[in-house]
Amino acid sequence: MFLCNMFFRRTHNQGKARMPYVNIKLTPEGLTPEKKATLIKAVTDLLQTELNKNPETTVVIIDEVETDNWGIAGQSVTERRAK
């Protein structure tokens, strides 16, 4: 499972510049520290290439959500996968 939110937040020092803030929510299956590092780098590079955002101000957060804590259509992902 994968969900990504992206926001642009004002920086504290200039007020006009926007800092990319990307929040990725994933279930933890197969998610290694190496894969997380690759994902963070890829998202940062994508924002730089496609939106000309400064990598030095890009924030990427990965939240691991257990399948018992993620629901779709009134059921947890755990229940849905068990069918």
Please report, for the domain that includes residue 20, its CATH number. Answer: 3.30.429.10
Q: What average pLDDT does this structure show over 15-27?
A: 82
**Which pLDDT score is estimated for 17?**
60
**Which pLDDT score is estimated for 18?**
74
- Pairing mode, strands 18-26 and 71-72: unpaired
**Which pLDDT score is estimated for 38?**
97
Q: What are phi and psi of 33, to 5 degrees?
A: -55, -35
pLDDT higher for 4 or 40?
40
What is the rounded radius of gyration, in angstroms, for the C-alpha atoms of the chain?
Answer: 16
For residue 24 the two structure tokens come to: 């990725």
* Active-site annotation, residues: 20
Q: What is the pTM of this model?
A: 0.77
> Burial of 72 by CB count in 10 Å (0-12 exposed, 13-18 middle, 19+ buried)?
exposed
pLDDT over 80 (residue 14): no
For residue 20 the two structure tokens come to: 């990319």
| Range of the structural domain that residue 8 is part of | 2-82
